Amino acid sequence: MKILIIHGPNMNLLGRRDKSIYGNYTLKDIDNLLNDKAKEYGMELYIFQSNLEGEIIDRLHKSIEEDIKGIVINPGAYTHYSIAIRDAIEILDIPIIEVHISNIYAREDFRKQSVIAPVCTGQITGLGIYSYVLALNAIYMMI
């Protein structure tokens, strides 16, 4: 069971970003946690991080050829304005969970709107790195 994890912009700097919002974990910590959970579920993870909108879109398109069964995506700041990523997600007919480490609804007004959520199966926000784990669990339960 192939699952794609997409980390969007600035996720590569976790551990250096505002720790009161993002905690002390690094992206490698998240990936290790997800890989451990994926083994329990019999999943094969494809993990991708990019700061570039076009690369994220290309990776979503490529998932069609790879027989990906579900996607966990943290679009980062693209959450709030990337119609192009939204359109790429809308094409896919698999479970897709949008995740955020912080609670985007408890932050600045411009972060409270997600253009991505309406085309996703669900959204998990504000539970730290466990937002990712819960999303992986949800996909496991849906497949």
pLDDT tens sequence across 17-55: 888 888 899 999 999 999 999 999 999 999 999 999 999
E strand or H helix that includes residue 27:
helix 27-41
Q: 59 exposed, middle or buried (CB, 10 Å; 0-12, 13-18, 19+)?
A: buried
Considering the chain, what percentage of its residues have pLDDT values greater than 70? 100
Predicted local distance difference test score (pLDDT) of residue 64: 97
d(CA 12, CA 9): 7
From residue 89, give the alpha-carbon distance in Å to each of 19, 70, 72, 95, 103.
Answer: 30, 11, 11, 10, 22
Return the active site residues: 22, 100
Predicted local distance difference test score (pLDDT) of residue 18: 83
Domains and CATH numbers, the chain: 2-142 (3.40.50.9100)
Do the beta carbons of residue 79 and residue 116 sit within 8 Å?
Answer: yes
Q: How confident is the model at residue 114 (pLDDT cuts 50, 70, 90)?
A: very high
Terminal-residue alpha carbon distance, the chain: 9
pTM above 0.85, yes or no: yes
